[in-house]
Amino acid sequence: MMTLVTGGSKCGRSRYAEGLLEGVDGKIYLATMQPYGEDARRAIERHRKMREGKGFVTQERYTDIHELDIPHCGGILLECISNLLANEMFREDADEYAVDRIMHGIRHLEAHTEHLVVVTSQVGADGLDYAPETMRYIENMGRLNSQLAEMADDVTECVYGIAIPVKRRNIC
């Protein structure tokens, strides 16, 4: 089963996503944020404190998640697609296949767990024009989020700390 959790900045996505795996044994937290700069280091530390004592084994992986050697486990929380896409798109050996590579990685993760929780971000809603590379990132996030939502069993949007169901495949 795959759940996609989306929303804007500081909306409660991470807290909600972690709660979905509460009580699950053998869970992995797949962290994708590279510690560039003080803001990133603070965000990483805040997330570490949030999941402290919740039974997650943290693996940091910034690109190529399809290459991860993961034993079958009860749950995987992938945090966050927006970081992963930026890492893939702007890496030294970047190519035009970042979205395909990430989707291949998501399928790889899903094959190794009972419950995959993927956290993503909503970007581009402001309607502004940015530099061409930023516009390409926004377009790719839209493509990725659409493909992930189609693939997911459940999709939830977090707004102001409130989880709003968008898609539920497993409703009787």
* Calpha distance 53→55 (Å, rounded): 6
Give tens-digit pLDDT for 29-70: 999 988 888 988 888 788 788 888 889 999 999 999 999 999
Domains of the chain, CATH where assigned:
2-167 (3.40.50.300)
Could you give the CA distance from residue 144 to residue 44 in angstroms, rounded to a whole number?
A: 23
Q: Is 55 helix (H, G, I), strand (E, B) or coil?
A: coil
Tell me, yes or no, if the pTM score tops 0.75: yes
The predicted-structure confidence for 93-118, as pLDDT tens digits, reads as follows 999 999 999 999 999 999 999 999 99
Cβ count within 10 A of residue 150: 10
The model's confidence at residue 170, banded by pLDDT at 50, 70 and 90, is low
d(CA 2, CA 154): 7
Q: What is the pLDDT of residue 48?
A: 82
